[in-house]
Each structure stands twice: as structure tokens, then as C-alpha cells.
A and B are shown apart, each in its own frame.
Chain A
Amino acid sequence: MKDSARGLALVSPTALYALAMLVAPMAAIVLFSFWTQDYLTLDTTLTFDNYREAVTDPIYGQLMVRSLYISGIVTAVTVVLAFPIAYYISFHVAPERKALWIFLVTIPFWTSYLIRVFLWKVILGFNGVLNTSLLGLGIIDAPLTFILYNLNAVVITLAHAFAPFAILPIFVVLERIDRSLLEAAQDLGETALTTFWRVTLPLAMPGVIAAVLIVFIPTVGDYITPRLVGGPGGLMIANMIQTQFLRLNNAPMGATLAVLAMVCVTVIALVFLWLNRRFLRGRN
């Protein structure tokens, strides 16, 4: 009784902070999504009109699908590239060097996200670093145009930005794998490659799934990168939400799209959490 009271007292500042900064805005968004706005007048009667429009107007559906598609590709690319890096650090770097390597992995965080996106614009642009170099070397005759202001640019930029987030959780699970398990597998007749498939990868799955969630969830809602490097074909749902709120002055529609995006992400995240539970089964 006393203990629980003290516990409550201890968490209450944080809880209040979370309530004010997280729950209240969320509640406001949900409430807004059931209102409607006609130019300047806000109609506060509760209605499903926005949802009906969001589902029937194909533009919203397309944007949502494209967002999930881009995030899916970014997640796949990031995790597939992060795994060998995490594997190398965990298995092939001397123990006293690992901290240094992890430190190096976090170097991209030393500059702000916005500046890194701008840098990619400089690298990938028509007269950018990549094109001038390739032209100068005579490898290409005309500047490559498929690398900026489209979906590819968004994928490249986001995959780079989120790489450390994917490397770290995978590194942590690999570090926790008892090395004698790998020797046992070889002792029982497996080669290095089949040992990887039968022991290392299954044991690393919780980290891989954590990496998938950590990359996927924030990229669905990202709007800086598509805005700056995506061009018209690389825009995502968050750009539409921003437009609804700030340009079209239709906050209720923006709120509705935000809620729908949240629901989509939640459903996908739950599927992965359920997968993770299956992989975690059998471990203490």
C-alpha cells in the first residue's frame, strides 16, 4: 500500500509530462479527425465524413500505399545491409576494438538529420558530386536522373539515415549468442554456412525484428526526406498531412489521415511483434 503510493509519487512527474506532451495531443488529433472544416469555419459535430472521404478518394489511398511501400523497401535495404556490418563487428572485430567500431557507426548522428538530407541532395543532384565524378571519369555520358527527385532518392537517403538504428539491435543479439553453440553445430556436422542458417540467424531474429520495427515505424511518417529529395513522385502520406494542416487549412482532414496512418503502422507493428514472440519462445 505504502510502496505503491511511493511508486506512484515517483512516476507521477514523468507520467504527467507524458500525459501533457503525448496523450493530450493524440486525443486532440483523434477528436479533430471527427470534426469537419469548410474553409474557415470549423464544424464540431462528430461525423465520419473525413474517414469516408479518405477511403473513397484514391489520392489518399495511393499515398498511403506508396508510403508503406517506400518504408518497406527502406526497411529491407537497411536491415539487409546492417546485418553484415553488425555481424562483422560482433564476430570479426577484436573485443577491445568493438566499442570503437560502435562509436564509428554512430558518427552520422553528429550532424542533424536535415543537413544529412541536404548532403544527399548535393551528392545525388543533376550537377551533384556523383554525376560530376562519373562524368569526369567517363563512365557515363549524360548525368543520371533516376537518382534524385524520385522514389530512389528517398530510399537511399532514408536507408543511410536509419542504418545505425538497425545495426545496433542486431549487434546486441549477435553479441549475446553463446559461441559454443556455433562450435556445437559444427561439431554435429554443419559447415560454417549451414551453421549460420540453422543457428546464428534464428537466434539473431529478435534483433532483426527489432531493427525492422525501429526503421519501419518512423520512416512511414517521415516528411523531410520525401519533401527535399523525393520530387512529385516520391511524396509520402506525411507530406499530405502537412499540406492538409498548413496549406489547405483542413486540420480535420489532416488529423484523419494521421489517425489512419497510425492505424496502419500499428497493425503492421503488431504482426512483427507477434513474429518476435514466436522467435523469443524458447529463450529465457
Chain B
Amino acid sequence: MSALIALSGAQKYFGAYHALRDIDLEIGEGEFFSLLGPSGCGKTTLLRAIAGFEALDGGSVHIDGHDMAGVPANRRPTNMVFQSYAIFPHLSVAENVAFGLRKRGLDAKTQAEKVGGALEMVGLGGYGARAAHALSGGQRQRVALARALVLEPKVLLLDEPLSALDRKMREQMQGELRRLQRHVGITFILVTHDQEEALIMSDRIAVMFDGGITQIDSPEGLYRRPASREVGAFIGQMNFLSGQVRSGSEGFVAQIHGLGHAPLAADQSAEPLVAGQATFGMRPESLSLVFDGQARAASEAAGRVADRAYYGDMTYYEVALDGVAEPVTLSMKNMVGQPVLSVGDAARVAWDPRALIVFSGAGDA
């Protein structure tokens, strides 16, 4: 694959602090790629290294086949939407959008058309004459987007562009950004610490911890097959149960404390399965309550509801299972005709062995 952006062995130090650890990354043309990780893990630093605002202390950045070493930000085929939007306060909306066009040597009419078209695209048609300071947060974000897109960059870099917006606005903009990206076909690299946002919007996601990339995969891949417990816990919710992996005549078998045993397939672990102590991950939706009168499930355990959170469409239960140290979290769709259990009620819990994910080594769970 010929990647549009390729980083190899990228290193960055701030004094003694190792901010980027040996980053290898390839991003294809037209891809919507996200950098996801907790605060301070180095996402912004990585984005700024691609944009040309941070010089690397090791490794390389190639964009479209060209080595970017020594190429300043103003000569890279990237444009950035800053976290603070960085709208020029002394210019009007149209002047902001036209800022980068000056060097293109367009005649006034073509330039005005381009600016108008860009504003139209982000839903701000007719706002050109407005003063930049008279805009709402969401409108500023759109101006920043139009200002970058009007230059038709190969890559658009977005640093948490939605974090300053309220929830409603954020959800709306997530959809709009995704549509816009499909429409213009430009590669988007989005930095976010919101795992939901990354899952909704991206083609692929890189999960970063502590300056290094832990896993790169599609949203489903990350959710279904997290490479480590850290990733599993960071993306969505996950129960961790301790036990052993045994090798039997039919292949490997999971032996989980308090839940019993179940056969394992090879794709249920990021690494090759080996016998020994293991931690098993299970998503809340792969556990379910068995109500009275329902048939006994193949894999079932008994316990008591320890806590409950009712969301209307869903209920999240914390169930203390007999023989399991930590209560497990499970989610149930609230179907008509099914009771919602209360704290203290006895509960039967069915679990799906196919949804188990094996992490090697005994955890503290």
C-alpha cells in the first residue's frame, strides 16, 4: 500500500520527557483516521509533528512520498483545525477563509467564489461579512474548517475540534464532519480523547498511551479484539475475570473462576493462545439476565444485583456473581414484558463464550 502519510520510528523529547515513543504509522489516501488516547498521551504532539510545528528527535515523516524533515509548516500539504479554532479576530469571516488563498494569485472574482463555496459547504453561506468575534463556538469551528478546506490540502488535521461544543452540537457536527470528509475525499486525521467520537467517525483508529501507539485497527476491530487490557478498558466498558487457559484434546479451553469453562477459538486472543494464568475480558452486552420461565442457557451463573443504572432504553446492572470477587457489569435492552430488576434481587446471568477475549497473564481483576 502506498500510504499518503508514513511515520517511522518517530521520537520526540521535551527535555527529559519522552513525548513520542517510536511511532510507526501509515495513513492512506481519503482515510478518516483518528488518534485516540487519554489526556497527555501525546496526541497533539503527534499531530503537530505531522503539521510541521514540532521537529522530531528521531525517525521520519513522509507525506505523499516526500520526506518532511526540515520542511516548515507553511510548505507542507497539510492544514490544521486548531483546538481553539484560531480564528483571526481582526478579520471578517470571509477574510479569515480567504487568508491562505492570497498566495494562490487568484483574481478577486474566483477568490470570492471559492470563499463563498467553502462557507456554503460548512453551512455558513451568507456569513462572509460578519465580524469573526460575533460567532458562536460551533460557527467558529465551521469557519476554521472552511478556512482549511478552501486550500484543498492533501491532509486535514483536526485537534479535538468538537471538544468545546455542547453535546447536541457535538453530535450534529460529528455527522457533518463525516459527510464532509466523504464529500471532499481528503484524508482527515482527528485527535480526540472521546472514544465514542472516534468509533462513530473513523475508518481506522490508533490508540495511544503514554507516547506510544498500542493498537491500530478499525472501530469494530478495536472493540471486538482489543490487543491489551488497557485498550479494552479504554474503549467501551469491559469486565475482567481471572482464570486459566488449559489445552485440551479439542483445543484450548477457558476456565474462569466462578463461571466455569468454555472452548476458545484462536481469534479470541491478540497473541497465540498458550496454557496458563489468564485474564478474560467480557463486554457488558455479551452477558445477559435470564428471567424466570426462560430456558436455561448453556453458560450460566447465579448472583445478586448489587447496583443498577436505568437509562430508559437500557439498564446497566452490576451483578455480584457467586464465587467472583468483583461484580460484573451487564447491559440489558428494556423489552416490554421483561421486568427491570432491583438492587438485592437474585439474578441468573447467561454469558456468551464466543465473546470472551483472552489476555495473557493473571490480572488483579
Q: In the complex, which residue of chain B has the Cβ closest to the Cβ of A181?
A: B86
CA A279 – CA B89 in complex, angstroms? 10
Q: Is the CB of B90 within 8 A of A186?
A: no
| A202-237 interface (Cβ within 8 A of B) | 202-203
CA A181 – CA B90 in complex, angstroms? 11
Contact with B along A4-45 (1 / 0, CB 8 A): 000000000000000000000000000000000000000000
Q: Is the CB of B86 within 8 A of A184?
A: yes
| Residue in contact with B99 in the complex, picked from A188, A191, A281, CB distance below 8 Å | A188
CA A189 – CA B75 in complex, angstroms? 6
CA A147 – CA B82 in complex, angstroms? 53
Q: In the complex, which residue of chain A has the Cβ closest to the Cβ of B144?
A: A184
Q: What's the minimum C-beta distance from A231 to chain B, rounded to whole angstroms?
A: 45
Residues of B within 8 A of A283 (CB): 89-90, 133
Q: Is the CB of B90 within 8 A of A282?
A: yes
| Residue in contact with B133 in the complex, picked from A189, A191, A199, A284, CB distance below 8 Å | A284
CA A281 – CA B148 in complex, angstroms? 25
Q: Is the CB of A282 within 8 A of B73?
A: no
Q: What's the minimum C-beta distance from A90 to chain B, rounded to whole angstroms?
A: 17
Q: Is the CB of B151 within 8 A of A188?
A: yes
Q: Is the CB of A183 within 8 A of B86?
A: yes
Q: In the complex, which residue of chain B has the Cβ closest to the Cβ of A182?
A: B86
| Interface residues on chain A, size class | 20 to 34
Q: Is the CB of B80 within 8 A of A187?
A: yes
B126 contacts the other chain (CB 8 A):
no
Residues of A within 8 A of B63 (CB): none
Q: What's the minimum C-beta distance from B137 to chain A, rounded to whole angstroms?
A: 14
Q: Is the CB of B133 within 8 A of A183?
A: no
Q: Is the CB of A189 within 8 A of B132?
A: no
B8 contacts the other chain (CB 8 A):
no
A190 contacts the other chain (CB 8 A):
yes
| A46-72 interface (Cβ within 8 A of B) | none
Residues of B within 8 A of A281 (CB): 131
Residues of B within 8 A of A190 (CB): 74
| B301-345 interface (Cβ within 8 A of A) | none
Residues of A within 8 A of B102 (CB): 189
Task: Pick 24 A–B contacts, CB within 8 A, sort by A.
Answer: A180-B82, A180-B86, A181-B86, A183-B53, A185-B88, A186-B72, A187-B53, A187-B148, A188-B79, A188-B99, A188-B100, A188-B148, A189-B75, A189-B151, A203-B90, A281-B131, A282-B89, A282-B90, A282-B91, A282-B133, A283-B89, A283-B90, A283-B133, A284-B133
Q: A181-B86, A284-B133 are in contact. List 14 more A-B contacts (CB 8 A).
A: A180-B83, A183-B82, A184-B88, A185-B99, A186-B74, A188-B74, A188-B148, A189-B100, A191-B74, A199-B88, A203-B89, A281-B131, A282-B131, A283-B90
